[in-house]
Amino acid sequence: MSDDHVKIFDTTLRDGEQAPGFSMATGAKLIIARALRDLNVDIIEAGFAAASPGDAAAVRAVAEKIEGPRICSLARLNGADIDAAGRALEPAKSKRIHTFIGTSPLHREAKLKLTKGEILARISDLVAHAKSICDDVEFSPEDAIRTERDYLIETVQAAIEAGATTINIPDTVGYTTPEEITDLFRFLRANAPGGSDVTFSTHCHDDLGMAVANSLAAVRGGARQIECAINGIGERAGNCSLEEAVMALATRKDFFRVSTQIETPKIFAASVALARVTHNPIPRNKAIVGKNAFAHEAGIHQHGVLADKRTYEIMDAEAVGMPSNSIVLGKHSGKHALRSRIEALELSATPERLDELFVKFKRLADAQREVTDADVVRLVTGSNKRPGRAGPWRLRRVELRVELDEDTPPYARIGLEHENGARQTVTCEGEGPFDAAFNAVCAIAGVEGRILTLDIHHVAGAEDGIVRAEALVEIGDQEFLGTVREIDVAHAAVGAFVVAVNQAIADSKVAAA
Ligand code: KIV
Ligand code: ZN
């Protein structure tokens, strides 16, 4: 591998899932492992085999089913953990044991109650033991950043002599700074005996919001592996975010002069998959993958982007797999953006009419956070229905039920009326009441789909309804957006599903019932 290749070691399934609210069972881990394989990460840290029988089974399942990346398990520096990692990794074509022990004064004295010499002896014995099970061994001196430099060198030397091929330098508590970590990596590479034969790796936490900056700075100091996680998940404030580090290296290749093997167009899918399986939505303003990352609302920005998107975008949305750049209509938008959206919706307005519409548009934008396509259609046509897009179904009945006991799944009873007058009522179960309602709408309409996002907002001061729901659903291989305003949450959400399903039917992308 050339010296400008930076390996991406993904720890979403280990450090990432250690964080409260992110734990993943085997099925969820496999979904993410497939997304990581599609991203072409170099190494997947699939879990911590000794942590629980469930985690051992998850590591084994990933080792069995995922080919391409090297599969890794974490292990504390003791025989039982290392053996458990070795067993779980057995089916993997290509594997790694990652073993660690605390080396900073605090870890030695307060946590481990071991002397420097005792720790060095353990490193020598147990890294060698790991090496006897697996040829590829990574060693981490935990809390390396707060470890005395001369002692850090001794631990690194002991691990290399015992057979470690990757030396990871964790900033366990997110304490370092970019300048400091660049200097530390330069120091280790220059002074650790045997250091030129191993890969130095960086593993930064985000307690001070510097995990990505520190990881990139470590690369400047000679690190050739970045440990990171999708959406930056991980202990406490998280780990270095994979998508941010990878896109920084790609976008500023002129500066960093290194590359990764990541298939960047697969980034968005991996990020969405993680948000979905862990039920943690991607923050709207998240770099690279947030809904706003390539969205523009301010009039001046929209004008620039419509003329040439490079005016306000340093990356192509397509490069990270996001559906192209989006102009969001809101109170900061200008007339250019409104006209462009009207045309994109295959509608038209003379310049005089556009002036009138623009006044109404600003009023509407003041009353609600975002003006959707449905709002624009209503402004231009005076109707809720986009010409030629109305579908056959109307919502007639909504009943949602959630029991507090765990044995009764949430269910929904939904009634729809077809434009030919026929009515149907169906009861479905689901993971939640809205999921159940969507299943019922699909069952009646005879389509198969899934909810991608459901946003519900209270709209203060709007004239025709106080709850606005926007449902993005996938039907067939297409996405459809339904937006509705109603006076209650249940009717708004289910109404939005019906609008989206109607659009799918009207667009003839799926078979009508
Ligand atoms: O943050 C840390 O120190 C770790 C080690 C186990 C590498 O996650
Ligand atoms: Zn960590």
Q: Average pLDDT for residues 430-438, to the nearest whole number? A: 92
Q: How far is CA 159 from CA 83, 101, 125, 364, in A?
A: 18, 11, 9, 65
DSSP secondary structure string, 250-269? HHTHHHH--B----GGGHHH
Give yes or no: residues 316 and 434 share one domain. Answer: no
Q: Which two tokens stand for residue 280?
A: 């943690």
Give yes or no: residues 313 and 187 share one domain. Answer: no
Report H helices in 391-461. 433-445
Give yes or no: residues 373 and 411 share one domain. Answer: no
User: 182: Cβ below 6 Å to ligand 1?
Assistant: no
CATH of the domain at 94: 3.20.20.70
Q: How far apart are CA 280 and CA 206, in angstroms?
A: 18
Q: How far apart are CA 465 and CA 468, in angstroms?
A: 8
CA atoms within 13 A on the CB side of 374: 19
Q: How far apart are CA 490 and CA 471, in angstroms?
A: 13
Give yes or no: residues 474 and 348 share one domain. Answer: no
How far is C-alpha 44 from the chain's CA centre?
Answer: 16
**Tens digit of each residue's pLDDT (9 = 90 or more) over 328-352:** 899 899 999 899 888 877 778 889 9
Q: Average pLDDT for residues 248-263, to the nearest whole number? A: 98
How many domains, the chain?
A: 3
**Tens digit of each residue's pLDDT (9 = 90 or more) over 143-197:** 999 999 999 999 999 999 999 999 999 999 999 999 999 999 999 999 999 999 9
Q: How far apart are CA 142 and CA 103, in angstroms?
A: 6
Give yes or no: residues 191 and 213 share one domain. Answer: yes
**Tens digit of each residue's pLDDT (9 = 90 or more) over 197-253:** 999 999 999 999 999 999 999 999 999 999 999 999 999 999 999 999 999 999 999
Q: With 60 as the cut, is the pLDDT of residue 40 above it?
A: yes
Sign of CA pseudo-dihedral 243, 245, 246, 252: positive
Residue 2 lies in a domain: no
Identify the pLDDT of residue 512: 39
Give yes or no: residues 241 and 331 share one domain. Answer: no
Residue 387 lies in a domain: no
Q: How far apart are CA 402 and CA 353, in angstroms?
A: 48
Residue 130 lies in a domain: yes
**Tens digit of each residue's pLDDT (9 = 90 or more) over 275-298:** 988 989 999 999 999 988 998 878
- Counting from 1 in the atom list of ligand 1, the atom nearest the Cα of 239 is 1
Q: Which of 371, 365, 367, 331 is nearest to 458 (CA)?
A: 367
- In this structure, are residues 446 and 416 in contact, taking their beta carbons and an 8 Å threshold? no
Nearest CA to ligand 1 atom 3: 172
Give me the domain span that covers residue 274.
7-278
Nearest CA to ligand 1 atom 6: 100
Give yes or no: residues 177 and 209 share one domain. Answer: yes
CATH of the domain at 495: 3.30.160.270
Q: Which two tokens stand for residue 494?
A: 């289910």
Nearest CA to ligand 1 atom 5: 142
User: 170: Cβ below 6 Å to ligand 1?
Assistant: yes
Q: How far apart are CA 30 and CA 43, in angstroms?
A: 15
- Counting from 1 in the atom list of ligand 1, the atom nearest the Cα of 144 is 3
Nearest CA to ligand 1 atom 1: 172
Distance 309 CA to ligand 1 centre (A): 40
**Count of helices and strands (H, E) across the chain:** 18, 16
Residue 487 lies in a domain: yes
Give yes or no: residues 400 and 371 share one domain. Answer: no
Q: Which two tokens stand for residue 109?
A: 């004295």
Among 231, 248, 278, the domain-final residue is: 278
- In this structure, are residues 44 and 8 in contact, taking their beta carbons and an 8 Å threshold? no
Residue 289 lies in a domain: no
**In a 3-state reduction of DSSP, which class is residue 470?**
strand
Distance 281 CA to ligand 1 centre (A): 25
Residue 290 lies in a domain: no
- Counting from 1 in the atom list of ligand 1, the atom nearest the Cα of 18 is 8
User: 146: Cβ below 6 Å to ligand 1?
Assistant: no
Q: Which two tokens stand for residue 345?
A: 């919706």
Mutate to test the pocket of ligand 1, among 14, 100, 104, 228 (most ligand atoms within 8 A of CB): 100
- Counting from 1 in the atom list of ligand 1, the atom nearest the Cα of 142 is 3
Give yes or no: residues 202 and 310 share one domain. Answer: no
Nearest CA to ligand 1 atom 4: 172
User: 470: Cβ below 6 Å to ligand 1?
Assistant: no
What's the whole-number average pLDDT of the chain?
91
Distance 227 CA to ligand 1 centre (A): 10
Distance 168 CA to ligand 2 centre (A): 11
User: 330: Cβ below 6 Å to ligand 1?
Assistant: no
Give yes or no: residues 44 and 117 share one domain. Answer: yes
Among 381, 413, 429, the domain-final residue is: 381
Q: How far apart are CA 66 and CA 364, in angstroms?
A: 50
Q: Which of 249, 208, 507 is nearest to 387 (CA)?
A: 507
Q: Whole-model pTM?
A: 0.77
Q: Which of 63, 51, 40, 65 is nearest to 14 (CA)?
A: 51
For residues 96-119, one letter each, b for 16 or more C-beta atoms within 10 angstroms of the residue's C-beta and e for the rest, the string is bbbbbbbbbeebbeeebebeeeeb
**Tens digit of each residue's pLDDT (9 = 90 or more) over 113-150:** 999 999 999 999 999 999 999 999 999 999 999 999 99
**In a 3-state reduction of DSSP, which class is residue 65?**
helix
Give yes or no: residues 402 and 328 share one domain. Answer: no
User: 480: Cβ below 6 Å to ligand 1?
Assistant: no
Give yes or no: residues 27 and 83 share one domain. Answer: yes
Residue 499 lies in a domain: yes
Among 360, 381, 402, the domain-final residue is: 381
User: 172: Cβ below 6 Å to ligand 1?
Assistant: yes
User: 95: Cβ below 6 Å to ligand 1?
Assistant: no
Residue 513 lies in a domain: no
